Structures are given as structure tokens and as C-alpha cells.
Structure 1
Amino acid sequence: MNINGTYKSQDGAFTLTIANANEGNGTFGGSYVSKYTPQGQQTFGVLAGIWNYVGNVTTPNSIAFIANIRPANWPYCIQDTWSGVMTQQGQILLNGVRSYLNADGTYVLSSLGTMPFSAQ
């Protein structure tokens, strides 16, 4: 199964681009865009993407990824983590959380909710 491609959340706030998905070891890379962060819209690199098959033709894959951004001079760090299932080819249902840490020690931990993503 090829999962490479761009997936957009139902509300349009998040976009995941999966690249270099490897069926052999169940990994992928890519990028991730969040329109809403404490620092405005951000484009993140996908640090770790994981996907695994199960023996079910209806819901064939579990999927998870961590996306992180920390600009030069380290003024802040934002880490979004999403986990879920590919409910069918081109459709992913994900649940997300975020940690935000500012250089002054301010932090926010939040839920990004459960969101359907669709291939574009």
C-alpha cells in the first residue's frame, strides 16, 4: 500500500505530507503544517513517522508521527504528536497533542482533538 501523499484535516487547520513511506520497516518522513500555534502558522519537519499493517482489509494501518520545530537561537519549541488509524485508503483519523515551551519558561500542554484527514 502506498501512503505517500498530502492529507488535510477536515477543518483545514493541519496538513500532513507523507514522503518516503517504507513498507519494510514501517517508517515515513515528510512535513506538517499547523495554521494555529502560539507562534502563528508553522511548518514542521516530521521527526518520526510510523505505520503498521494489521490483518484487516477495512482498517489496514495504524499510523503515528511526531513533528517538531525549534528555530535558530532556540526562542521556543513546539512539538505536535498525532496517533490514529487509516480508516480506508486516503482517509486517516488522528488524535493529537501539543507541547509548547518558550525560552522564558512559559509552557502550554494541549489537546489538538480527534480529526479526520483526507488525501488531497
Structure 2
Amino acid sequence: MANVPLTGTYTSADKNFTFKITSADPSNGVIAGVYTTNYSPIGAFTSEGNVGHYGWVFSKAQGKDGVAPFNISFGGSQRPNQRPYNIVDSWNGAYLTDNTIVAEGTRSFVNSDGVVEVGSLGTLKFALG
């Protein structure tokens, strides 16, 4: 079975988001690595650990499993110990045959003052660099 998605750091076309894949488990689709955003209501933040998932389909064109294109999701969240806020970024998309990712991002933010922000991060291409 092919070792996809490829390990390495994927950077969004606008340079505001990175998704580093350190391992991808073909038995359960779990991706370990690091997600980083350069901006948010709390500034830049990073999440590390199990930060994504992927799932293959059987490729008729290639006659096998474990090859692109396939679905992929990733993101990160942060909630400090005193719980003054919680922020969650989620990206869902596809890993393509050229080892890029096209994904749509969303963000939700809630703080202890009752501020709620929910919105789109856009549709972006992430390239392996």
C-alpha cells in the first residue's frame, strides 16, 4: 500500500496556515502532526498531536487503494487552562494526485465575555514545501 499522504509541511496559498504531517496511519486514517495559523481573534496559535484524518477510495484508474485523490480533514484548537476562550479551526477537502490539498476552512471562537465568532476561512490550496 502506498504511503500517502506524504509527510512534510503543507502551506496554504495565502501563507496564513500550515499543516505538518509527521505520520499518517493507513489502518485508521489518523494523521499526526502540527497545525498552525498566523491569525485569529487570539493571534497565531499551534496545535500538535492527532490533527487530521484521511480516507481512501478504490481508484478505478489506478486499479488499487491507497492512492490520491482521497478525502482529508485537518485543523487545530486551543483552550487555555482557565478556559477564557475556545477556538477551533477545521479544514475539509481532498488530497490530489500532485500532492497538494484543496480544502475549505471554517473557524469558531467563543470567549468568556460571550463573544461568538463563526466564519469561513475560504477555499485554499495547500502545497508541500
Secondary structure at the counterpart of residue 104 of structure 1: coil
Q: Select 2:4's aligned residue among 2, 13, 18.
A: 2
Alignment pair present for 1:24 and 2:33: no
- Cα distance in 2 for partners of 1:109, 1:93 equals 21
The Cα of 1:81 is off from its aligned counterpart by 0.7
The alpha-carbon deviation at position 89 of structure 1 amounts to 4.2
What is the percent sequence identity of the aligned residues?
A: 35
CA-based RMSD of the aligned residues comes to 1.7
The corresponding residue for 2:84 is 75
* 1:37 and 2:46 aligned: no
Residue 81 of structure 1 aligns with an amino acid whose one-letter code is: S
Deviation at 1:26, TM superposition (A): 1.0
Return the alpha-carbon distance in structure 2 between the equivalents of residues 46 and 89 of structure 1. Answer: 26
Aligned match of 1:111: 120
Stretch deviating more after TM superposition (43-52 or 84-93):
43-52
Unpaired runs of at least 5, structure 2 = none
Give the SS at the match of 2:123: strand
For residues 74-110 of structure 1, the C-alpha deviation after alignment (integer angstroms, 9 at most, x for no partner) is 1111101110001124200010100001111111001
Contact 1:93 1:116 in 2 (8 A): yes
SS at 1:88's partner residue? coil
How many residues end up aligned between the 2 structures?
Answer: 120
Unmatched 5+ stretches in structure 1:
none
Partner of 1:80, secondary structure, is strand
Which of structures 1 and 2 has the bigger CA Rg?
2
Q: Normalization by structure 2: what TM-score?
A: 0.84
